[in-house]
Amino acid sequence: MGPIHLFDVASRVNHWLTVRQSTIAQNVANANTPGFKSQDVKPFASTLEAMSLAMSSSRPEHMTHTPAADARTELNADESGEMLHSGNTVNLEMEMSKAGEVNRAYALNTSTLKAFHRMLMTSSKV
């Protein structure tokens, strides 16, 4: 049986979700800014693949956690919204529903993490 990267993956998902939520916050804050284009992050699956490729290194000291880790969640111009006369593409309703979705996913993830943590603690208790 291979090692379980459960906590690693969970923390990465959580980080991805927070980056997505901050992108949504940017969109909402700029909902009335002329010329602002709505943005979104890449899906988690593709960032996870890119991450595991980037993590290959020959020496342990090569694995440094740089601020560039933020760059793995690239912002894509979101094409789904239609453009207003001012050149703004933010759709407030859609952003709110996305924010709710991210919040629910975060809740699910933290609860799962908590459950696994409880299991570990139970097995380590006398």
Partner 1 sequence: MSDPLKVILKIAASGLEAQSARMRVVSENLANAQSTGKTPGADPYTRKVVSFETEVDEATNANLVKVENVDLHRSPYRIEHDPSNPAADANGYVKLPNVNMLVEMADMREANRSYEANLQVMKQAREMITMTIDLMRSS
What are the Cα distances from residue 89, in Å, to 26, 61, 94?
A: 13, 44, 11
DSSP E strands, the chain: 39-41, 75-77
Q: How far apart are CA 117 and CA 126, in angstroms?
A: 16
102 Cβ contact list (under 8 Å, min separation 6): 17, 20, 21, 24
- Mark residues 17-56: x for contact with partner 1 by CB under 8 A, - for none: xxx-xx-xxx-xxxxxxx-x--------------------
* 13 lies in the binding site for partner 1 (CB under 8 A): no
Q: Of 13-21, 46-54, 56-64, 76-84, which segment contacts partner 1 by CB under 8 A? A: 13-21
Partners of 39 in the β-ladder: 77
Does position 67 interact with partner 1 (CB under 8 A)? The reply is yes
Binding part of the chain for partner 1, among 49-57, 77-85, 91-99 by CB under 8 A, reads 91-99
Smaller CB separation from partner 1, 22 or 46: 22
Evaluate whether 69 touches 47 at the Cβ level (below 8 Å). Answer: no
Which of 58, 122 has the CB closer to partner 1? 122
Q: Which residues bind partner 1 (CB under 8 A)?
A: 14-15, 17-19, 21-22, 24-26, 28-34, 36, 67, 69-70, 92, 95-96, 99-100, 102-103, 106-107, 110, 113-114, 117-118
